[in-house]
Structure formats: structure tokens, C-alpha cells
Amino acid sequence: MPALTSPGATGDLSDVTASDATLRRFLHGLPGVDQVGAEARAASLGTRSIKTTAKAQAIDLAIRMVDLTTLEGQDTPGKVRALASKAMRPDPTDATCPATAAVCVYPDLVGVAKQQLGDSGVNVAAVAAAVPRGRAPLDIKLADTRDAVAAGADEIDMVIDRGAFLTGRYLQVFEEIVAVRGACERPGGGEPAHLKVIFETGELQTYDNVRRASWLAMLAGAHFIKTSTGKVQPAATLPVTLVMLEAVRDYREATGQMVGVKPAGGIRTTKDAVKYLVMVNEVVGADWLDPDWFRFGASTLLNDLLMQRSKLATGRYSGPDYVTID
């Protein structure tokens, strides 16, 4: 680990981002990731089993961590309203079933989601800043973000410019994240929208790059770091998430600040979700076992969580019409 100043605010690391050279030196001075070791540890954690009572708790926690997502060209206001209703009452037959963390939509549908969700406590997340490609002038990315925030978005999910990152233009990526975070401020004041920074890890090529991107985003003020848009494969994987969890753990040790982690794309089953929760507990600890600090970006995962929840409660699987098809 490169030498860091004493724990405190992110400003303690301001010298790291003083220039492209200092930022490059810092990021390339991070310890390299042992690919074989990371994959072996992730595989080992993925074999852990939990007992029935703990499984029931894990399912409810996973439901509370879901960002219920629709990001299709054919999205309509009606589809978003239905998704928002499902987020508030995932199982209409069981009032004890918790709500999801958020509904994630394109910026032009934020107002629809916000109106439907009302004061339910379910957040509205909007992808912005030219998601999924990240290929647009900065002023367009900032306008996209401001529009979503003005429409009521509680959270903004942006994606980094992978072309800039992979060619070593780290300061450009850093400054863009800082600018988007600034665009998350509310025009009339109040709490700004929280910023999730997506790496599109399937395009970053190495675990070392995932670690560097994690630190880069955290230095720039990300509230969450996120694996993927779900539009590129591979998306979320256990080893990639392990590397990101290690980064947020080390960042808190260096600065005293917590940053959330969001794996997204390809997490479809309760078994998958439990593997991630076990990893969170083992790598960063119980502090991150909270929707404020860990999320699942998913569309179909919630359906399986509801099916497994019903199975634990009744002892049998429900019929195919038990959950809605998103």
C-alpha cells in the first residue's frame, strides 16, 4: 500500500490528485491483485452454507438491498409505475415482506417513479452521464445528471469513460467524477443525490484495473462503487466484487470514510445473493450488511428471492404466477 497520511477526510489524500503524474504514481503503486488467490478465495466463500433461520434473514436483507431496475429502450411510464409498486410491496400477499432499496430507471422516467413511490421510503435511482457507454461530452453528461436530480432522483448511477481509463488518462476520469458529483447538488439546496460510479468491469481487463478504478472513484467522492451496467458481459462476478470490497475496506482504514459497493448484472438467484452477502460479512464485516452500503443491481433476482421466501414460510414452492414477470 502506498504511504497515506493520517486518517481523516478525503482531503488528506488531496496531494494524490494534484496532477496526472501523482495520481498515476499512486494508482500504480497499489498492491497488485493475486488473480489466482482472489479467484480461489471467492470460490471458497461461495461454498459457505447458512442455516434456515439465517437464510430467512438473509433473504429479507437481500430484498432490502435490491435496486429494482429497468433500463430498456421500450420502457414506458406504465412499466415504471408497475415496477415502483412492486418495489414498495414485493409480495402483495404478505405485509411482512420488506420493500426494496430503490427503483432504477432512465432520467426521463424519474418523475414517474418518484410520483408512484411517494413517501414510501423507496429511493429513485437514475442512470445518467451517458450510461451505458459513457461516450459523450462532459457538458451533456452534466446536463443529463442535473435533469435527473431536478426530477427528484435520490441517487445517480454514472459510468466512467473506460477509453480514458484504459489509456491512463486517470486525472480526466477523476475530474469527470468530481464534476458529476457536483451536478448531484440540488438547485434549491438540501441533501444531494448520492453518486454511484460504475466501472463496467467486464471491459477493465484485469483485477489490478478494478482496484485502481475503485480507488480513483473513491478519491473523487463516490458514495458507491458499482461493477457494471448489465449491458456488457461478464458483469458482476464474485472475484471482481471481492477486489472492490477489499478496496473499500482499505479506503476506510486510510481515511475513516465508508463507501458502498453494488454488484450489478447477472445476479439472478437467491443462492447467488447469499454468496455475495457471505463475502461482504467475511471481507468488510457487518457494517456493510445494510442497504446504505451494499446493493444488488437486478431485475430478475427479486422474483427468486420472493419464491424462496415463500418456500421457507410454507414448505413448498408457489406456482408460476406467484410473482410478476418484470
> How many structural domains is the chain composed of?
1
Strands of the chain (E only): list them.
Answer: 66-69, 102-105, 123-127, 155-159, 194-198, 224-226, 260-262, 296-298
201-245 pLDDT per residue, tens: 999 999 999 999 999 999 999 999 999 988 888 889 999 999 999
Q: Which residues are catalytic?
A: 157, 226, 262
Q: Residue 147: pLDDT above 70?
A: yes
Where residue 37 falls (left for φ over 0; alpha for ψ -120 to 50; beta otherwise) is alpha
Residue 226 lies in a domain: yes
Specify if 5 maps to a domain. no
The pLDDT of residue 308 is above 70: yes
Provide the phi-psi class of 259: left if phi over 0, else alpha when psi is between -120 and 50, else beta: beta
Confidence class of residue 13 from pLDDT cuts 50, 70 and 90?
confident
Beta carbons within 10 angstroms of residue 96's beta carbon: 8
Residues of the domain holding 276: 10-314
Residue 103 lies in a domain: yes
Task: Determine, yes or no, domain membership for 188.
Answer: yes
CA distance 215 to 59: 30
Q: Report, in angstroms and rounded to the nearest whole number, the Rg of the chain calculated over CA atoms.
A: 19
Kindly state whether residue 324 falls inside one of the protein's structural domains: no
**pLDDT, tens digit (0-9, with 9 covering 90-100), for 157-198:** 999 999 999 999 999 999 999 999 999 999 888 899 999 999
Averaged pLDDT for residues 5-19: 62
Per-residue pLDDT of 23-69, as tens digits, reads 999 999 999 999 999 999 999 988 887 887 899 999 999 999 999 99
**For the residues 1-16, what does the mean pLDDT come to?**
50
Report the share of the chain in percent with pLDDT over 70.
Answer: 93
Is residue 1 domain-resident? no
Q: What is the pTM of this model?
A: 0.92
CATH number at residue 40: 3.20.20.70
- 319 lies in some domain: no
Residue 325 lies in a domain: no
Provide the residue type at 258 as one letter: M
